[in-house]
Amino acid sequence: MVSVVVFLPLLGAAVLAFTRAGPRLARGVWLAVTGLDLVLVLAMTAGYSTPPPGGLAYAEQVAWIPGAGVSYHVGVDGLSLPMLLVTDVLFVACAVWALRADDRVRRLAALFLALQTTCLGLFAAQDLILFFLFFDLSIVAMYAVIAGWGHGEQAKRSALQFFLYTFLGSLALLVGFIGLYLGSTPHTFDIPTLVARAQGGTVLAGGVVLGLILLGLAIKTPTVPFHTWLPPAHTDAPAIGSAILAGVLLKMGTYGFLRVGMPLLPDAWRSWAWVIVVVGLVSVLFGALVALAQTNVKRMIAYTSVNHMGYVVLAVGAAGLVASDTATAREVAVTGAVTQMVSHGLITGALFLLAGVLDSRSGTYEMDSFGGLAAAAPRYTALFAVGALGSLGLPALSGFIAEFQIFTGAIAATWVAALALPGILLTAALFLRAFHRVFTGPDGPATGGFTDVRGPELVAAGGLLALSIALGIVPGPLLDLIRPFAASVVAALGG
């Protein structure tokens, strides 16, 4: 079942790539394939039962490069299944958003379906080399999206910067994976096997190996100071490219912390924990402060991603601060980190789609070009307001559920985590400032003739925000799915 979920979009991409489907048929195939894939993941979720600690559901394993200990090994647990769900939801939203697309639609649809397979494959991978393969292929696909469908000639430069920066991170990640392989006896790249040995007390690798892995994942996340590729990539990418970049690809870094760094190298993770906490704190505050200074809506949202991913880094760092009587709190922090990954995908994905409306109507993202949109586009205003409130963590939205758990667990582990609380205030200030400049006050030069959101735009962005509200009101099913995994990670770290 997992292999079908992973490779169904690739099959759709192949059909579109080797046929002469017109724009209407290409859009239909794109939406049908992504929709069917989401149905399959929902069916998997409905039939999912929590596996024993360290176990997987729907596991499939076939020898791939036997001499090197590499296998095609996929499966799901309480970490990967939520990520498969949010990935498919976002790709469906993008397919709906693109129902009015008219620029090389067949190629765009094929490219997005191929990108979907790389994302799903990474979240299902249970072998380090398979993980690395999908990690690298996602970089190539997103490079093509930004360079081919981005805004103007600057898009090619931003795409190249994105590719080179993140590819450098992937090389560091590969060297770290090889270090894990060499440190295991017998040698293997199989993640569950390495986890079991780490839990048994075998030291797989030292802090240098974890440092390489953290470097590769920190660039992808991205954390400060490895974030500089993100704002130009987001600013110049098409709206659906930004939605997937923020909603899915950034999560590959934080997912790697939880899948690889923490359970495979628990001793080294504990020794690096304070460094990770500090990096998380800096990312939270720096991302919010720089976002507050932006005059471009899309760059502002991009910097809020640095802020929100900083909360995840803070939580996983705090989970490594092992002390007596903190296991439950650290488990809450890890649960909050995974919840934040899901929540950020929904909310920021919707915000980037909504930012795309500004460009499609007026050709600019500059706040000073607008004003008075609340009267001209009330539905658009309402959607942006809900997204902004969700991003700053207002109760009744998924952002509050995530941040509440992160701060509860992290502050219980160390009072230093409380230094990140001003990040919430700064996020509120930056969104209120942007809302005032774009939606209230006198009309700007781009306000005249601005039309409200159309059907596909309303369904795509509104659907993502509706899911955020649903998780904010009824978070139990998602938390129940995540909690056993969080408990197993904290147990691996000890304490």
Beta bridge partners of 70: 65
Q: What was the pLDDT predicted at 495? A: 62
Beta bridge partners of 65: 70
Contact 241, 146 (CB under 8 A): yes
% the chain with pLDDT above 90: 63
Q: How confident is the model at residue 148 (pLDDT cuts 50, 70, 90)?
A: confident
Assess whether pLDDT exceeds 50 at residue 249.
yes
% the chain with pLDDT above 70: 98
| Dist CA 225 CA 336 (whole Å) | 24
Question: Comparing C-alpha atoms, which of 292, 293, 446 is closest to residue 373?
Answer: 446
Q: What was the pLDDT predicted at 227? A: 85
Assess whether pLDDT exceeds 60 at residue 204.
no
Using DSSP's 3-state secondary structure scheme, residue 76 falls into strand
Q: What was the pLDDT predicted at 340? A: 95
pLDDT tens per residue, range 86-138 = 999 999 999 999 888 787 888 999 999 999 999 999 999 999 999 999 999 99
438 by Cβ neighbours in 10 Å (0-12 / 13-18 / 19+) ranks as: buried
| Dist CA 359 CA 379 (whole Å) | 17
Q: Rounded mean pLDDT of 415-442?
A: 90
Q: Rounded mean pLDDT of 480-494?
A: 90
The tokens for 107 are 């190629």
| Dist CA 335 CA 339 (whole Å) | 6
Q: Rounded mean pLDDT of 139-164?
A: 88
Domain residues of the chain, as ranges? 2-493
- Contacting residues for 480 by C-beta, under 8 A, at least 6 apart: none
Q: Rounded mean pLDDT of 153-180?
A: 90
Q: What was the pLDDT predicted at 112? A: 96
Q: What was the pLDDT predicted at 202? A: 43
Q: How confident is the model at residue 152 (pLDDT cuts 50, 70, 90)?
A: confident
202 or 371: which leads in pLDDT: 371
Q: Kindly report the average pLDDT of the chain as a whole number.
A: 90
Q: Rounded mean pLDDT of 69-74?
A: 92
Assess whether pLDDT exceeds 70 at residue 205.
no
Beta bridge partners of 190: 127
Q: Rounded mean pLDDT of 427-445?
A: 87
259 or 325: which leads in pLDDT: 259
Q: DSSP letter at 150?
A: S
| Element at 451 (helix H, strand E) | none
